[in-house]
Amino acid sequence: MTKKSKKENIIICSNSGCFSSGGVEVFIAFLDQIFNDPDLCSQYEVKKGGCHGFCEVGPTAIIGNDKIFYIQLTPEKVETIVEKHLKKGEVVEKYLYYDVINQKKVYSYDNIPFIKHQQRLILKDSPFIDPESFSDYQSSGGFTALNKILKETDTKSICQTILDSGLRGRGGGGYYTGEKWLKFSEQISQPKYIICNGDEGDPGTFMDRSLLEGDPFRVLEGMIIAGYATMATNGIIYLRKEYSLAIQRLNLALEKCYQQKILGQSVFNSPFSFDIKLEIGHGAYICGEETALLASIESQRGNPRVKPPFPLEKGLFNSPTLINNVETFANIVDIITQGCEVYSAIGTEESKGTKIFTLSGNIKNSGLVEVPLGVNFQHIIETIGGGYQGRTQLKAIQIGGASGSILPAEFITEEVSYENLIKIGTSMGAGGIVILDNDTCMVEIARYYTAFAQEESCGFCVPCREGTQKIIGILDRIIRGKGLDYDIVKIKTIAQVMYETSMCGLGKEAINPVMSLIKYFENELKEHIFQKKCRAGVCARLVRYYILEKKCIGCGACKLRCPVDAISGIKNQKHAIDGSLCIKCGQCYKICPVQAIERG
């Protein structure tokens, strides 16, 4: 391989997903191999990169200007890549990503279907810059937006630019960000606080964590711009204790910003001063609610407060407070640098820009997905996600986290935008999308999300505290085969009371999963209640397995897999299941090569 005038990069993903699967060892292996070879050391530089979103294939490496993308690496594989690729110029194909749909190996990172079919604004730089390097962020255009707005004397015009862009809060509420900024800028009392809400607690969501781990300077820049635009001088990032890597990198980023005079007195030698500190919460889900978050920062119990007054007028320590989430602040840089016209050209009439979703569940490609608002579920699930795993089919789409809704499979063609999701009776929430297949019991999944809400409830108001417990009790009884004919009406009554009288959004929205169950999957719920049957085979007391004699080929696969020897029969003869011994684990159902085992 010919020497280059400029070193090419070997970029190792350094977010917690890849690190947890051996990324540190892979990084050290590359560093050791390159450092100890003068020839390679003159050609390549090993560096850490932020999150690329394709967490399930980690640890990964992006090599050279051609962006050759190696997946699921180990130190042993690194040795092979060094010997063949770096020294001889031969791409090691067996470590590349294999595109199952097109049945071919994919060489370049940019051509990975999971990446190629996204439209990335916020995540575009993260995979290629070192999240711990100030110079790396600056060389990729970092702090250009901040420099630009510091020359603007009419600070309200910055708020107007954010409003004209159409950016809506990405934390779940979907309020127009510019509108909040304008109202906040009109508050004249000081001090005024800017808070970045990083208390991400919904099951199956990790957008904020990945942004803070992979591109912390971008979020800080957005916060500083917000401070200048609204005449605030104090910033706080509220982050949960479990996000140790994000905390480490934010502390490092804050230290470097102070060293470079980007925070503190005279930001970039301007008259503007702004300070940011990190506040660590202790994992209470309710503290994601803005007033409970304020109470937590004030060292009080994280209980929600009655609104009004709203935080914009009377927030932290009774001072005006602007609260946006991590992804909202991350959008600000692009709006300022590209202009609101360019940003607002992306998306729909009422939902502008891109949105980051976490895609998980029964899906081939899971991870972080950034798409323009207005695409449909099908594009996200099938084109980017690669479709479904195994022999099962799509049954439902869960969106919006624990307080979101569960939509049936026919909604796959629906547009993912704020206005359309409201139209069909759900909301975007923080942006978690979970794919549920035919092996999912909708009663059990509704119970899971309701139990999560009950566990995370602050317990301050009776409707939420008692209502979630009552609904769980009813669902538990139904799952045990003791459902009663008036249970559905009872659930509806409790849910209505919770919605009308709970103090905060958690209590009002905790009913969404179970109400989705009643609205879209009532037949399945009624089967549980009246027929004592679980069609998904999940509720053990409501299911039995039996072998279809006409289909059974006597291969013995089910018998070998059964943990309690409940299956009888000899090779090449029909087998049978002893219902008195069967523990209903479903292993025989999953292993049968000819689908001769049914459940009912």
pTM of the prediction?
0.89
Tell me the Cα Rg of the chain.
Answer: 27
Q: Hey, which CATH number is domain 442-531, 1.10.1670.10, 3.40.50.2300, 1.10.1060.10, 1.20.1440.230?
A: 1.20.1440.230
User: Across the chain, which distance is largest between two alpha carbons, in Å?
Assistant: 87
Task: Given CATH 3.10.20.600, say whether it is the number of domain 354-437.
Answer: yes
Does the fold of domain 442-531 match that of domain 8-116?
no
Task: Given CATH 3.40.30.10, say whether it is the number of domain 8-116.
Answer: yes
Question: Hey, what amino acid is at 58?
Answer: G
Phi and psi angles of residue 476, each rounded to the nearest 5 degrees, phi first: -60, -45
Q: Which CATH superfamily is domain 134-344 in?
A: NADH-ubiquinone oxidoreductase 51kDa subunit (3.40.50.11540)
Q: Name the CATH topology of 544-599.
A: Alpha-Beta Plaits (3.30.70)
Give the bridge partners for 69, in sequence order. 62
Domain ranges of the chain: 8-116, 134-344, 354-437, 442-531, 544-599
What is the pLDDT tens value at each position of the chain, 600 positions in all? 344 447 899 999 999 888 888 999 999 999 999 999 999 999 999 999 999 999 889 899 999 999 999 999 999 999 999 999 999 999 999 999 998 888 899 999 999 999 999 999 999 999 999 999 999 999 999 999 999 999 888 899 999 999 999 999 998 788 999 999 999 999 988 999 999 999 888 887 888 999 999 999 999 999 999 999 999 999 999 998 889 999 999 999 999 999 999 999 999 999 999 999 999 988 788 888 899 999 999 999 888 888 889 999 999 999 999 999 999 999 999 999 999 999 999 999 999 999 999 999 999 999 999 999 999 999 999 999 988 876 678 999 999 888 889 999 999 999 999 999 999 988 888 788 999 998 899 999 999 999 999 998 888 889 999 999 999 999 999 999 999 999 999 999 999 999 999 988 888 989 999 999 999 999 999 999 999 999 888 888 888 888 998 899 999 999 999 999 999 998 889 999 998 898 888 889 889 999 899 877
Q: Quick one: which of 432, 403, 427 has its CA closest to 417?
A: 427
- Owner of token pair 């962006």: 67
Reduced to 3 states, what is the DSSP secondary structure of residue 567? strand
The number of helix segments (H) and strand segments (E) in the chain equals: 26, 19
DSSP code for 349:
S
